[in-house]
């Protein structure tokens, strides 16, 4: 699949500015740091090296080591310092080399950052942003390829985002920095080199607002991050045979945009939820329950279908890795079954 050619990204027409997903994130950080001296960037190897995926690249040259700080190889320690800095009035952006490594900092994220506003009666806020390179597809094996966004979506006090395009990657990061509470942004590793239209200057992509990327009347496909691109490609194939899928970019896992999803389900009567996390106990289960508990349930004329990752660690072997998570072919096949009520 060529993500860069997907309809959700923009062609370089001369009147649009084209950036990569990584460049858009870097631009957002630079704009925020220029506008607000309290914004700092922290993480392992994010200074001179430019980060594991080269997203922070030249920021240390532009803003210096006092604002672009390499932290020791200790996720618990680095995340703890970021939370503490947020409590003192700074606005830290903390980059994990891989989202998987956030497991070492669960105390700081889940028990401290997410809860302190509640435990202190609203007298303190923790405006920290955690950037989380995530997902499979790079041959990084089981400990570096997971999609664990649903874990954090379970935690009150956190906001959990999944930008799918360069435009949203920039706008969501700026929106996260404007939020007084902790925000986790899951950036799929395969998206860093994809390119698309990115507006000049500062703008905020609203948190908690999904977006209909493709209209249709035959079924609804809800997806986010890399799965949005695969769902859109599958929808193109389906349209050749007269099956018109409405594709919704979830964008935000917590909070979830109930209204956009329910409105679409009421129109199409069928729902397929696609996500890269393990199918069980995942984002698809939450969305399915949300629909089942609403009046949209009465509009369904087929069972809700979830398409997630296999119930196994992500394999190293590239063929097995691809087979373990939804691909364009599997999304297309699932959508065809649903459209024909064969589930």
Active site residues: 75, 144
Q: Are 157 and 113 in contact (CB under 8 A)?
A: yes
Neighbours of 181 (CB within 10 A): 17
Three-state SS letters, 219-276: EEEEECCHHHHHHHHHHHHHHHCCCCEEEEECCEEECCCHHHHHHHHHHHCCEEEEEE
User: What is the pairing mode between strands 245-249 and 252-254?
Assistant: unpaired
Residue labelled with tokens 């990752």: 309
- Give, as one character, the DSSP assignment of residue 111: I
Neighbours of 63 (CB within 10 A): 18
| C-alpha–C-alpha distance, residues 43 and 29, integer Å | 14
| C-alpha–C-alpha distance, residues 278 and 19, integer Å | 31
Q: What element of type H or E holds 196?
A: strand 195-197
- Which residues, 6 or more positions from 279, have their beta carbon under 8 angstroms from its beta carbon? 306, 307, 308, 309, 310, 311
Phi, psi (deg, nearest 5) at residue 21: -55, -45
Q: What element of type H or E holds 42?
A: strand 39-43
Q: How far is CA 300 from CA 75, 87, 248, 289, in A?
A: 45, 47, 17, 13
Structure tokens, 244: 């018109």
Q: What is the CA radius of gyration of the chain?
A: 20
Structure tokens, 37: 């001296």
């Amino acid at each position: 699949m060529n993500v860069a050619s997907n309809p959700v990204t923009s062609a370089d027409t001369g009147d649009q500015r084209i950036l990569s997903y990584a460049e858009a994130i870097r631009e957002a950080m630079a704009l925020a740091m220029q506008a607000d001296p309290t914004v700092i960037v922290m993480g392992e190897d994010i200074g001179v090296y430019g980060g594991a995926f080269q997203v922070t690249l030249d920021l240390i040259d532009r803003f210096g080591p006092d604002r672009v700080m390499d932290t020791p190889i200790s996720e618990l320690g680095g995340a703890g310092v970021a939370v503490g800095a947020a409590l003192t009035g700074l606005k830290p952006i903390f980059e994990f080399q891989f989202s998987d490594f956030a497991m070492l900092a669960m105390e700081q994220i889940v028990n401290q950052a997410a809860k302190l506003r509640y435990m202190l009666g609203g007298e303190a806020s923790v405006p920290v942003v955690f950037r989380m390179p995530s997902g499979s597809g790079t041959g990084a094996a089981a400990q570096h390829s997971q999609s664990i966004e649903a874990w954090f979506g379970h935690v009150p006090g956190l906001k959990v985002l999944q930008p799918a395009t360069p435009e949203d990657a920039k706008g969501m990061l700026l929106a996260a920095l404007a939020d007084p509470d902790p925000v986790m942004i899951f950036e799929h590793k395969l998206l860093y080199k994809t390119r698309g239209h990115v507006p000049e200057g500062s703008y905020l992509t609203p948190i908690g607002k999904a977006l209909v990327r493709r209209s249709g009347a035959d079924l609804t496909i809800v997806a986010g991050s890399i799965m949005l691109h695969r769902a859109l490609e599958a929808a193109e194939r389906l349209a050749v045979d007269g099956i018109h899928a409405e594709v919704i970019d979830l964008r935000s896992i917590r909070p979830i945009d109930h209204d956009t999803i329910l409105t679409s389900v009421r129109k199409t009567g069928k729902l397929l939820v696609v996500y890269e996390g393990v199918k069980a106990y995942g984002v698809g289960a939450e969305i399915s329950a949300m629909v089942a508990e609403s009046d949209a349930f009465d509009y369904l004329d087929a069972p809700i279908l979830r398409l997630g990752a296999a119930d196994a660690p992500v394999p190293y072997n590239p063929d097995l890795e691809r087979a373990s998570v939804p691909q364009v072919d599997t999304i297309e096949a699932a959508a065809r079954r649903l459209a024909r009520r064969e589930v």
